[in-house]
A and B are shown apart, each in its own frame.
Chain A
Amino acid sequence: MLEYILAKYNFWIYVVLMMIGLYAMMGKRNLVKKLIGMNIFQTSIILFFVSIGVKKGGATVPIIMGHGHGHGQHLIKVADYLNPLPHVLMLTAIVVSIATTGVALATLILIYKRYHTLEEDEILAIRKDPSSYKTLG
């Protein structure tokens, strides 16, 4: 069993991270905490993708060195280089995640301007009963 876990430990870690992130997004009442959870959640997916591209047995970074234009093409061996595709995808995913975070933070500032708090339950209370706003504000 231990061996089984160790064989794919990256995947296990990503599952744990994902659960942490998901829990923070759903269970935490503070909006910043939710965003932190979102970041963890997204990075865990990136970790998952990067793990897909790993090749054991001496594969290196997918940068081909020392070959001029097309010469020596026969020297390139697939097994020597890591799978570049997941890396490409994840570059996009990182950018997407930071963009989402940016927009979410902008909304966060709007929310704070309006309610002067970032706790979800307090905001809900204010929305239900606008008079409680003054006591908190």
Chain B
Amino acid sequence: MKNWFKLISWVAVIMTGALLIYGIHDMPAWGDPDSPANAHVSPRYILEATEKTATPNIVSAVLADYRGYDTLGETTVIFTAAISCLFLLRRRGGKK
């Protein structure tokens, strides 16, 4: 059973790897300044973030402002994890 399981995981891993490698072929060259990822949305952040949000750090600007709700979600994730851990690790049936 153990070998069988290892075999399955090897197959899954190799299939995933093959798929990933297949995807590499069409990727833009590493560090290409004109790749779509660098050319479509992000230039606007670089150009106007400092002006609009008055923050020199563009990452912070985007994090806190443009994509503020991602950050809110991130905070919520932490909160969720904290509550989950408390929920799990506190003693059962505790009478406060």
Q: Do A and B come from one complex?
A: yes
Q: Which residues of A contact B (CB under 8 A)?
A: 7-12, 14-15, 18-19, 22-23, 26-27, 29, 51-57, 59, 62-65, 67, 69-70, 73, 76, 78-79, 81, 83-89, 91-92, 95-96, 99-100, 102-103, 106-107, 109-110, 121
Are B13 and A53 in contact (CB-based, < 8 A)? no
- In the complex, the chain A residue whose C-beta lies closest to that of B63 is A88
What is the number of residues of chain B that contact chain A, defined by CB distance less than 8 Å?
55
**Set of chain B residues within 8 Å of A87, measured between Cβ atoms:** 59
Interface of chain A: mostly helix, strand, loop or mixed: helix
**A59 CA to B38 CA, complexed, in Å:** 12
Are A15 and B77 in contact (CB-based, < 8 A)? no
Are A8 and B33 in contact (CB-based, < 8 A)? no
**Set of chain B residues within 8 Å of A19, measured between Cβ atoms:** 13-14, 16-17
Are A85 and B12 in contact (CB-based, < 8 A)? no
Are B85 and A102 in contact (CB-based, < 8 A)? yes
Are B70 and A22 in contact (CB-based, < 8 A)? no
Q: Which residues of chain B in 11-41 are interfacial with respect to chain A, using CB atoms and an 8 Å cutoff?
A: 12-14, 16-17, 20-21, 24, 27, 29-33, 35, 37-38, 41
Q: Which residues of B contact A (CB under 8 A)?
A: 2, 5-6, 8-10, 12-14, 16-17, 20-21, 24, 27, 29-33, 35, 37-38, 41-43, 45-51, 54, 56-59, 61-63, 67, 70-71, 73-74, 77-78, 80-82, 84-85, 88-89
Are B2 and A121 in contact (CB-based, < 8 A)? yes
**Set of chain B residues within 8 Å of A88, measured between Cβ atoms:** 59, 62-63, 67, 70
Are B16 and A106 in contact (CB-based, < 8 A)? no
Are A84 and B42 in contact (CB-based, < 8 A)? yes
- In the complex, the chain B residue whose C-beta lies closest to that of A6 is B30
**Set of chain A residues within 8 Å of B85, measured between Cβ atoms:** 102-103, 106
**Set of chain A residues within 8 Å of B35, measured between Cβ atoms:** 52
Are B43 and A78 in contact (CB-based, < 8 A)? yes
Are B10 and A23 in contact (CB-based, < 8 A)? yes
